[in-house]
Amino acid sequence: MSSTETPPELTARPKRADARRNYEKVVAAAREAFADRGSSTSLEEIARRANVGIGTLYRHFPTRQALLEAVYVGEVEDLCRSAADLAEQPPWDALVAFVHRLVAYLATKQALAAELLDYVDRDAGLFKSSRAALWAAGEPLLRRAQEARVARPDTDLSEVIQMVGGIAKIPTTEPGQMDHILEIALDGLRYRE
């Protein structure tokens, strides 16, 4: 559990071919299963879909979170990287656009949202890389908006993401409603003298 031990990828020999294959099969099956049966799909169901024993699934992914992470982390990172193009836009617009993308994504992945946001203000644990990506993309946007005096200075990215994440988790029926709620909240983020 110490952070000083040698990273496994430098000491361990490469995984066996069958192990890698099964890992991929499980992730693929999980992605499908989460998509069309909801994110509370049982791990046994996923193992069945992947044509893999339950034991194998558990060896690769000791917890449900670990699997969730493997399924979604890549997508979050893509989304964050895609935020690079926002740098050209005006500070406020860029921030708003980023937040909207994030919410749109999270809203479709309730399970991810719930788990990921649990770790937003904790430093350790899973989803560390997602958290890092989120910060790399969001921090500059927020700071720029604050320096341009279009966003209130008395807050930080952690709060913004938590607020926005809370909104993303709202179970709305009407389509435009979440956007409107988000708009209200973002108005609260604006600078006022």
User: Which chain residues interact with DNA by CB under 7 A?
Assistant: 12-13, 15-19, 21-23, 42-45, 51-56, 58-60, 62-64
Of these, 12, 174, 175, 193, which contacts a copy of itself (CB under 8 A)?
174
Q: Would you count residue 187 as binding a copy of itself (CB under 8 A)?
A: yes
162 token code pair: 């938590």
Q: Residues in contact with a copy of itself, total (CB under 8 A)?
A: 32
Residue number, 17 or 124, with CB nearest to DNA: 17
Q: Which residues contact 5 (CB under 8 A, 6 or more apart)?
A: none
Question: What is the smallest separation between the CB atom of 28 and a copy of itself, expressed in angstroms?
Answer: 30
Residue whose structure tokens are 């913004």: 160
Q: Would you count residue 121 as binding a copy of itself (CB under 8 A)?
A: yes
Say which amino acid occupies 174.
Answer: E
Could you give the residue ranges of the DSSP H alpha helices within 38-85? 43-49, 54-60, 64-81
* Residue 193, helix vs strand vs coil: coil
How many residues are present in the chain?
Answer: 193
Sites of contact with a copy of itself (CB under 8 A): 117-118, 121-122, 152, 154-155, 159, 162-163, 165-174, 177, 180-181, 183-190, 192
